[in-house]
Amino acid sequence: MALGRSIRIYLEGGEVSGIRHAELVNWTGQALLCPRNRVVELAQWETAVRRPGVYFLIGSENITQRDAYIGEAEVAADRIKTHLSGKDFWQEVLIFTSKDENLTKAHIKYLEARIIQLAKAAGRYRLINQKDETPVVLPRADKDAMEEYLNNARILLGALGHRILDPVIDQPSSQSSQLTRLLYSVKGASAIGTVTDDGFVVLKGSTALTQVHDSIRPSGYAALKEGLIKAGKLVKRGDVLQFASDTLFSSASAAAAVVYGNSANGRICWKTQEGQTLKEIEEEQARRIPSSSMAEVD
């Protein structure tokens, strides 16, 4: 069983929407998340930003996925300043550096390339980096140290609300037999999905109807489906649309509505091969939760 980790997050001024400094207990790395309109305040964080590091420029939320840019710099704060005028899509920046000043130029070049690889493989955010980067060759000990840095950075990214490096499913769709596979077939379309910690994932290769009924336009599901088509996550395959990658939805009903192109109750539509609905699965799980054995006290 994997061991738990302790994270310390400092909220400057006590504001959850302001600058946040994050670190893992017993790790020399550190992360600083800063809204675009407060970049001037980075000057107060000299030991976190005036050193070599990698950074993420994160765009605002949209219908299908956020935009992101990944870079590296020997002085992270100086590079961020140039992006204020050079790139206008981003709303916040996440900077990763080291508290012990042991990250070299080679280290951050390696981290940048590996982060781009992982982010593209995960497919959660749309990267606007113009080219791929090839990781520089490091001594074996340094390479292992940077891979450990990446694993820790992934944890802090998730804790700060950006799981940009995490696949929507921990293993490839072809190996997802350990997950509860749920099926939904409707008028020639056939989809396979599963519930994850993030929401509901429709697996790569599933199909959806091309129709978009007016009934789902007020809910935003029509725009979601159109956005997935535009993003290349739903592609035309004969008379149906096919999911080009594992695709995360906020709920089973959102996934069902996109597959059907019409209103659908996801907790009823999605079923196991044996015919058990998602609603029945959740009700069964609820019954397993222990009830309090303590008598109520007036």
* pLDDT tens-place string over residues 124-137: 999 999 877 789 99
Q: What is the dihedral of CA 212, 216, 217, 223, to 10 degrees?
A: -60
Residues 177 and 133 in one domain: no
Domain boundary among 105, 125, 159: 159
Residues 39 and 70 in one domain: yes
Compute the mean pLDDT over every residue in the chain, rounded to the nearest whole number: 91
For residue 1, tell me if it sits in a domain.
no
Distance CA 249, CA 118 (A): 21
Burial state string for 139-177 with b = 16 or more CB within 10 A and e = fewer than 16 = eeebbebbeebbebbbbbbebbebbbbbbbbeeebeebe
pLDDT of residue 25: 93
Percent of the chain with pLDDT strictly greater than 90 = 79
Residues 98 and 146 in one domain: yes
Identity of residue 213: H
Residues 78 and 203 in one domain: no
Domain boundary among 159, 188, 214: 159
For residue 164, tell me if it sits in a domain.
no
Range of the domain at 251: 173-287
Residues 153 and 179 in one domain: no
For residue 166, tell me if it sits in a domain.
no
Residues 234 and 147 in one domain: no
251-294: per-residue pLDDT in tens?
999 999 999 999 999 999 999 999 999 999 999 999 998 876 54
Give the residue, 293 or 58, on which the prediction is more confident. Answer: 58
Domain count, the chain: 2
For residue 214, tell me if it sits in a domain.
yes
192-232: per-residue pLDDT in tens?
999 999 999 999 999 999 999 998 988 899 999 999 999 99
- The helix (H) or strand (E) run that includes residue 18 is none
Distance CA 15, CA 208 (A): 43
Give the residue, 93 or 131, on which the prediction is more confident. Answer: 93
143-198: per-residue pLDDT in tens?
999 999 999 999 999 999 999 999 998 754 444 445 789 999 999 999 999 999 99
For residue 168, tell me if it sits in a domain.
no
For residue 153, tell me if it sits in a domain.
yes
Distance CA 236, CA 66 (A): 23
Residues 149 and 18 in one domain: yes
Query: Does residue 176 sit in helix, strand or coil?
Result: helix
For residue 100, tell me if it sits in a domain.
yes
Residues 150 and 34 in one domain: yes
pTM: 0.86
Residue indicated by tokens 């590091």: 53
For residue 295, tell me if it sits in a domain.
no
Domain boundary among 135, 159, 183: 159
Residues 86 and 147 in one domain: yes
In 3D space, the residue among 145, 132, 133, 63 whose CA is nearest the CA of residue 98 turns out to be 145
**How far, CA to CA in Å, does 289 sit from each of 281, 282, 285, 286, 292?**
13, 11, 7, 5, 10
What is the total residue count of the chain? 298
Residues 154 and 178 in one domain: no
Residues 134 and 247 in one domain: no
Residues 232 and 149 in one domain: no
Which residues, in sequence order, are CB contacts of 201 under 8 Å at separation 6+? Answer: 168, 169, 193, 194, 195, 246, 247, 248, 249, 255
Give the residue, 179 or 298, on which the prediction is more confident. Answer: 179
